[in-house]
A and B are shown apart, each in its own frame.
Chain A
Amino acid sequence: MSKQSQKRPNWGLSHGELVWRQFTKSWLNVACLIFVAFLLLLAVFAPFLASDRPFIIFTRHSPAGIMAGKSGGQVDGRWHFPLLENLQPTDYCIFLAAFVGFLWLFAGYRRQNTEFRILSPVCCLLYIGLGSVLILATSGRHKLDATDYKALVASGKAANAIFPPVPYGYDRTDLKLCRQPPSRRHWLGTDDVGADVLCRLIHGSRISLSVGFVAVGISTVIGIIVGAILGYFGGKVDFIGMRIVEAIMAIPVFFLIITIVAFFPRSIFNTMIIIGITSWTGSARFIRAEFLKLRQQDFVQAAISLVLPLRSILFRHMLPNAIAPVLVNATFGISSAIFTEAALSFLGFGVAPPTPSWGQMLSLGVSPSGRFVWWLALFPGLAIFLTVMAYNLAGEGLRDAVDPRRMQKSNIKYQNLS
C-alpha cells in the first residue's frame, strides 16, 4: 500500500485512502482493529504486565550471600530494578521493533517525506530480526535470576517493592497451588503446575501473533513471486506452473505439517516456516489472476516498451495494482496460521513446555484423568477464538472495502487447517 501512496496525485484521494475510509465506516471493523492493536500491545509489553520480578525493590541491609541471585538478588540495602535488569534480548528487540512500527504508522503518515522512505526498509529488517530473535529466545530461554522477590518482601528483607499488575512468572511453578479456580489472587486461576493462567495467556499472545505474522509473511512473499511470474509470462509457463500449483494444493497439508513438526525438534521456528511454505498457493492464485488482467493494460505495455527491468515491471508497476486481494487473503491467512499453531500446540507439537502458548494451555482443560477444569479450557480457548474472529472480521471488512460493489466472491480459502 505504501508504494501506491507514494505516487499519489496531488488531487483527490489515493486508492489506499479510499479503502481506509470505507473500512473505518463500520464500527465492527474499527473494533477489530482496536482489538488487534490491544493484542499487539499486550504481546509487546508482556514482561511489564506479567512478571514475578518487581519493577523496583528496596532491600534492607543484611548479611550478604543469603539470597545469592546472579543480579539484583543481593540483599544489600540498595534500590534494585530486577525486571528491567532481567529483560531478555528478545524483549529489547520487540520494544525496538514496536517503536519503529509506531514511527512508521504515525511519523510516516504523510507518506511524502524522505524519512519514511529511509525508515520503511529499516523497519522491515527489524521485523525480520524480531522474528528470528524471538525464536532464539523462546527456544532456549533460561532464567538468570531465580530470586523469589515475593518471599523477600514477605519475610521483611525488602520493602517498597512495586510489582507488575500480574505479579507471577509464566514459568514459576508451585505444585501446592495447582489447578486453583479463579480467585482474587489468581484472576483466571492456575494451571496444572501452579502457574498463573492470566500471566501465561499474556505471554502466549507473543507466540500466536508472531506465528501469524511471520508465517503469513513467508507465504505471501512466495505467493507474490510465483503468482507474478505465472501471471506475467502466461502461456506455457503459466500452464506448467498452474499444474504444479494444483499438485501442491492436493497435498494433505495438515498431515504434512504434523509430520514435520513431530519429526523435528520442537521449535516455533519450524512451525512458522512450515505453515508459511505450505499455505502460499492461495495468494499465488489471486496474484496470478490479477496479473493476467493487468498484463493487457496500457501502463504495463508502456513499461514493457520502455524496456524496464523485469523486477521493476513486476513489482513497481504491476504489484501495487494487484495488492488488494493479497492483503485480504493475508488477513485471513493470519487467522488461519494462528489457528493452525494453536491446533499444533494442542496436539503437543508446539513450542517446548515452559514457553506458554494458547493451544497448549487449552489442552490442559481436560486433565489426563478426565476431569474437566473449566478455567483452563475457557480462557485460552476464548483468547484463540477472539483473535481468530478479529482477523476474520477485519478480513471481511477489508474485502468489502477493497471491492465496493460488495461482490462477496469466494476469494477466501477454507480456513480450518486445509
Chain B
Amino acid sequence: MTTYILRRVLLMIPTLLGITIVVFAISRIAPGDPVSFSMGTSGQMDAQQAGGIRAARMKLYGLDKPVCVQYASWLGHVVRLDFGDSIKHRRKVSELIKERLPVTLTLNLIALVIVYAISLPVGILAAVKHGRFFDRASSVILLMLWSLPVMWVGQMLIGYFTGPFSPATFGQGLPPAQVRGLTWFPPAGLSSNYAEQLPFLPWLADRLWHLVLPVLCLTYTGFAYLAKQVRAAMLDNLGMDYVRTARAKGLSEPTVILRHAFRNSIIPLITIMATLLPAMFAGSVIVEKIFSIPGMGLLAFEAVTNRDYNVVMAVATIAGVLNLIGLLLGDIAYAIADPRISFDRAV
C-alpha cells in the first residue's frame, strides 16, 4: 500500500507539471498582457511616458524575459510555495488563496455532505421499489434535476427568494437597494455587514443564512447524479445470489438491504466522490459568480478576466492538486473498502 501511494504521488508530479505548462503556455501565447489591462484604468498620459511605465512594469513582473525563463523562475518560486504577487489585487497570491480557499472548501464540503445524506436513502429506496411508482417518479425527477442548468437555478433563486419576506411582493424582482426590512435570503456575499462583531452563535446563523441558496445550487445536480448511481449499484447487488441467501436465512428485510446489499454497493460510490469533487469545484465558479461569494471560483474568474497571470497559475496549480488528491483518496478508500483490491500486486 505504501509503495502504491508513493508511486501515485510520484506520478502526480509530471501531471502537475503538464497542467501548469499548458496553462502557462496559454497565458503567454494569448494576445494581451496584464500590464496593458491594469494601465487601461490609469487615465491619460503621453505615449512616451506610457511606454516607459509599461516597460518598467513589464520588467518588474519579469514579463520581458523569454517564456521558458519565465516558466523556470515561476516554478522555482512555486517549489518554495511562493506564488508571486497578484497584479490586480496588489497583494501576495498566497495570502489571497489563504483567504479564498477555505470559503470554497466549506461550501463544497457542506454540499457534499448534503449530497450524500439525501442521495443514499433516495437511491436505496428507488432500488428497493424497483419498477414501482417511487422508482419511476424519482428517476424522472432526478433526471430533471440533473438537467437543470446551475446558472438558471441561481438566477431564479435570486429573483424569487431574495426579495422582501412577505407573500404580497413575492417574485417582483426588486433591486437589493430598494429592499427594506426582512428578506427571504441575502442575494450576495457570505455574511451581513458588521457580522464579525456578532457573538459566535448569531454569526454562525448569519453565515448559514447566507449559505442556503449557494449550497442549494451546488447540491442538486450532484444529488441527482449520485442517487442514480446508488440506485444502479443497489440494483446490481439486489439481484445477486448472496442476497437471496440472506433472505432465505430469514433475515429481516432492513438487514438484508442495509447490511448485505448496501455494504457491497458502497464501492462504486467511493470512486464517484473523486469525480464529484472537481465537478463541484467547477460548479462553484458559476455559483460564486452568481452569488458574489469571495471564494476560489470567483478568484479564478476575476484572474482570468484580468489576465492576472500569477493568480491564474496559482489557481490552476491548486485546482490540479485538489483534483489529484481527490483521485488518490478515492483510490485509497477503494482499497480500504474492498479487501479484494490490492494495488501492490496489480499494475
- Interface residues, chain A, CB within 8 Å of chain B? 239, 243, 246-247, 249-256, 258-260, 262-265, 335, 339, 342-343, 346-348, 359, 362-363, 365-367, 369-374, 377-378, 380-382, 384-385, 388-389, 392-393, 396, 407-410, 413-418
A29 CB → nearest B CB, Å: 13
> Does A347 contact B15, Cβ atoms closer than 8 Å?
no
A99 CB → nearest B CB, Å: 31
A333 CB → nearest B CB, Å: 14
Q: List 21 A-B contacts (CB under 8 A).
A: A247-B11, A250-B19, A251-B320, A252-B19, A255-B300, A256-B22, A256-B23, A256-B316, A259-B26, A262-B305, A265-B31, A339-B149, A347-B301, A362-B152, A362-B155, A366-B159, A369-B175, A374-B173, A380-B152, A389-B144, A416-B283
B137 CB → nearest A CB, Å: 13
Stretch of B65-73, B241-249, B256-264, B272-280 that contacts chain A: B272-280
> Does B268 contact A410, Cβ atoms closer than 8 Å?
yes
CA distance A310 to B307 in the complex (A): 46
Task: State whether the Cβ of B190 lies closer than 8 Å to any Cβ in chain A.
Answer: no
**Residues 127-158 of B contacting A (Cβ, < 8 Å):** 143-144, 146-152, 155-156, 158
Task: State whether the Cβ of B56 lies closer than 8 Å to any Cβ in chain A.
Answer: no
Known: A362-B151, A363-B151. 17 other contacts (CB 8 A): A243-B11, A247-B11, A251-B19, A259-B23, A260-B26, A342-B149, A347-B286, A347-B301, A367-B175, A370-B177, A371-B173, A372-B172, A388-B147, A396-B143, A409-B232, A410-B229, A410-B268
**Which residues from A are CB-within-8-Å of B147?**
335, 385, 388-389, 392
Q: A250-B324, A251-B19, A392-B143 are in contact. Are A418 and B151 (CB under 8 A)?
A: no
**Which residues from A are CB-within-8-Å of B235?**
408
Candidate in A335, A347, A370, A380 with the most chain B CB atoms within 10 angstroms: A370
Cβ-closest 9 pairs across A and B: A372-B173, A381-B152, A254-B282, A263-B30, A372-B159, A418-B279, A389-B147, A252-B319, A370-B175
> Does A255 contact B319, Cβ atoms closer than 8 Å?
yes
**Which residues from A are CB-within-8-Å of B18?**
247, 251
B239 CB → nearest A CB, Å: 10
**Residues 206-234 of B contacting A (Cβ, < 8 Å):** 221, 225, 228-229, 231-232
**Which residues from A are CB-within-8-Å of B275?**
413-414, 418
**Residues 161-206 of B contacting A (Cβ, < 8 Å):** 171-177, 187
Task: State whether the Cβ of B94 lies closer than 8 Å to any Cβ in chain A.
Answer: no
**Which residues from A are CB-within-8-Å of B316?**
252, 255-256, 259
Task: State whether the Cβ of B312 lies closer than 8 Å to any Cβ in chain A.
Answer: yes
A149 CB → nearest B CB, Å: 35
Task: State whether the Cβ of B304 lies closer than 8 Å to any Cβ in chain A.
Answer: yes
Partner of A385, one of B148, B187, B312: B148
Task: State whether the Cβ of B315 lies closer than 8 Å to any Cβ in chain A.
Answer: yes
CA distance A251 to B17 in the complex (A): 11
Contact with A along B64-85 (1 / 0, CB 8 A): 0000000000000000000000
> Does B27 contact A259, Cβ atoms closer than 8 Å?
yes
**Residues 304-347 of B contacting A (Cβ, < 8 Å):** 304-305, 307, 312, 315-316, 319-320, 322-324, 327, 347
> Does A416 contact B152, Cβ atoms closer than 8 Å?
no
> Does A347 contact B320, Cβ atoms closer than 8 Å?
no
CA distance A371 to B289 in the complex (A): 16
B180 CB → nearest A CB, Å: 14
> Does A377 contact B285, Cβ atoms closer than 8 Å?
no
Closest to B269 in A: A410
CA distance A389 to B224 in the complex (A): 13
Task: State whether the Cβ of B14 lies closer than 8 Å to any Cβ in chain A.
Answer: yes
**Which residues from A are CB-within-8-Å of B300?**
255, 258
**Which residues from A are CB-within-8-Å of B289?**
347
Q: A255-B282, A260-B26, A417-B283 are in contact. Are A381 and B320 (CB under 8 A)?
A: no
> Does B149 contact A343, Cβ atoms closer than 8 Å?
yes
CA distance A413 to B276 in the complex (A): 10
**Which residues from B are CB-within-8-Å of A247?**
11, 14-15, 18
Closest to B16 in A: A250
A249 CB → nearest B CB, Å: 8
**Which residues from A are CB-within-8-Å of B283?**
416-417
**Which residues from A are CB-within-8-Å of B23?**
256, 259
**Which residues from B are CB-within-8-Å of A348?**
305
> Does A259 contact B304, Cβ atoms closer than 8 Å?
yes
CA distance A407 to B235 in the complex (A): 9
**Which residues from B are CB-within-8-Å of A262?**
304-305
Partner of A418, one of B268, B278, B286, B320: B278
Closest to A408 in B: B232
Candidate in A252, A377, A388 with the most chain B CB atoms within 10 angstroms: A252
Partner of A416, one of B156, B221, B312: B221
Closest to B17 in A: A247
> Does A381 contact B156, Cβ atoms closer than 8 Å?
yes
> Does A342 contact B175, Cβ atoms closer than 8 Å?
no
**Which residues from B are CB-within-8-Å of A265?**
31
CA distance A342 to B148 in the complex (A): 12
> Does A377 contact B14, Cβ atoms closer than 8 Å?
no
**Which residues from A are CB-within-8-Å of B232?**
408-410
**Which residues from B are CB-within-8-Å of A382?**
152
CA distance A388 to B176 in the complex (A): 32
A156 CB → nearest B CB, Å: 41
Q: A370-B177, A372-B159 are in contact. Are A252 and B152 (CB under 8 A)?
A: no
> Does A263 contact B19, Cβ atoms closer than 8 Å?
no
**Which residues from B are CB-within-8-Å of A408?**
228, 231-232, 235
CA distance A255 to B30 in the complex (A): 16
Partner of A417, one of B30, B282, B324: B282
> Does A255 contact B152, Cβ atoms closer than 8 Å?
no
> Does B173 contact A384, Cβ atoms closer than 8 Å?
no
> Does A371 contact B175, Cβ atoms closer than 8 Å?
yes
> Does B152 contact A370, Cβ atoms closer than 8 Å?
no
CA distance A219 to B20 in the complex (A): 23
Partner of B151, one of A243, A254, A263, A342: A342
> Does A366 contact B324, Cβ atoms closer than 8 Å?
no
**Which residues from A are CB-within-8-Å of B187?**
370
> Does B307 contact A410, Cβ atoms closer than 8 Å?
no
**Which residues from A are CB-within-8-Å of B285?**
254-255, 258, 347
**Which residues from A are CB-within-8-Å of B315?**
255
A378 CB → nearest B CB, Å: 7
CA distance A380 to B289 in the complex (A): 19
Q: A255-B282, A259-B304 are in contact. Are A374 and B171 (CB under 8 A)?
A: yes
